[in-house]
A = this chain, B = another copy of it.
Amino acid sequence: MIIVMKEGAHQSQIDEVVHLLETKGLGVHISQGEEKTIVGVIGPKERVRELPVESMPGVEKVVIVSNPFKLASRAFHPQDTLVTVGNHVVGGGDPTIIAGPCSVESLEQILEVAHAVKKSGAHMLRGGAFKPRSSPYSFQGLGETGLKYLAEAREQTGLPIVSEVMEIDALPLMCEYVDVLQIGARNMQNYPLLRAVGKTQMPVLLKRGLAATMEEWLMSAEYILSEGNPNVILCERGIRTFETYTRNTLDLNAVPVVQHLSHLPILVDPSHGVGKWQYVTAMARAGIAAGAHGLIVEVHPNPKEALSDGEQSLTLDSFDTMVQEVRRISAAMNIDEAIYSPHR
């Protein structure tokens, strides 16, 4: 942390700042510039960040120098993390493709999707059993019945299951049925839930919150990692901006940036990111070209009959086309240098 004193700050004000820091057991390094005095603070960053120095008299600005995340940072763990799900590895060579309906609606529906997406090349099956809906009157998912249908689909196809967990109390049930626990965007800062999934060793798909900076997102990953679960997969799914034509604004900039800052694998969800099925394939291609480790896509055998998110679901046929297009992009991406350490 660096503390910039105001021009003309009194010596007594500088002394007061230094005194506070020393009281807290922190080291201090003072630089006397021509116009301003700068106080460098040395010590563990968790403690440094807590200090409300900015409100002290004579202080102009406080600058946090280091990133707040540690276990999630590439500095701490230079190699890419690989997360194994069944016999598929997320973050390895080929892009991971996760597909399925927004909600599990019936056994027939989920089986039809599962067989079709498997045939098209998907590696995992997604489907919501417990749904976070902005209205209490909307369809909330089939609950445990939905989980059973998912398990049956896995039984028949071998595809591992990804499904959202919304509350701690449902965690044992979820762990019984699913292979990857999804934390939805609305729960990205539900810290008790993050800690709880951190206490399992289950792979966790952590979606970015609608208004979360990349730093906050990585801090949420840090919650899970700090409890001992290293199997975190990040997922960019669109942020909220002023643009209203698209449901959200898929922020593909996050792909190379997060790969620079962190070792965790990152997927892209073009379905929620853009919110209209017409644009999903283009954004899926773009996500892979940006360097993402894979995709999670909503697919429904009959989108216009879907109980949720029909607007953004691909049909089985258009998903098949999407996979082919994405694979062509991926094959063209055989690039020599690592993305996170570009030369210049």
- The answer, yes or no, to whether A285 is at the interface (CB within 8 Å) is yes
- The answer, yes or no, to whether A251 is at the interface (CB within 8 Å) is yes
A241 with B241: in contact, given A50-B138, A134-B216, A344-B315 (CB under 8 Å)?
yes
Please measure, in the bound complex, the distance between the C-alpha atom of A65 and the C-alpha atom of B56, giving whole angstroms. Answer: 17
For A187, the closest partner residue in chain B by CB is B190
Decide if A50 touches B308 in the complex (CB within 8 Å): yes
How far apart are A145's CB and chain B's nearest CB, in angstroms?
18
For A131, the closest partner residue in chain B by CB is B191
Decide if A249 touches B251 in the complex (CB within 8 Å): yes
Decide if A46 touches B166 in the complex (CB within 8 Å): no
The A148-180 residues at the B interface (CB cut-off 8 A) are: 166-169
A55, A213, A310, A311: residue with the most chain B Cβ atoms closer than 10 Å: A55
For A302, the closest partner residue in chain B by CB is B52
Residue tally, chain A, CB below 8 Å to B: 122
- The answer, yes or no, to whether A93 is at the interface (CB within 8 Å) is no
For A198, the closest partner residue in chain B by CB is B136
Digitize A7-38: 1 where CB-to-B-CB distance is under 8 Å, 0 elsewhere: 10000000000001000000101010111101
Q: List 12 A-B contacts (CB under 8 A).
A: A20-B304, A38-B65, A46-B138, A55-B277, A55-B303, A137-B226, A167-B168, A213-B242, A249-B253, A250-B253, A286-B289, A328-B332
- Other than A252-B286, A328-B333, A331-B332, give 5 A-B pairs with Cβ distance below 8 A: A52-B304, A52-B310, A137-B226, A256-B283, A285-B289
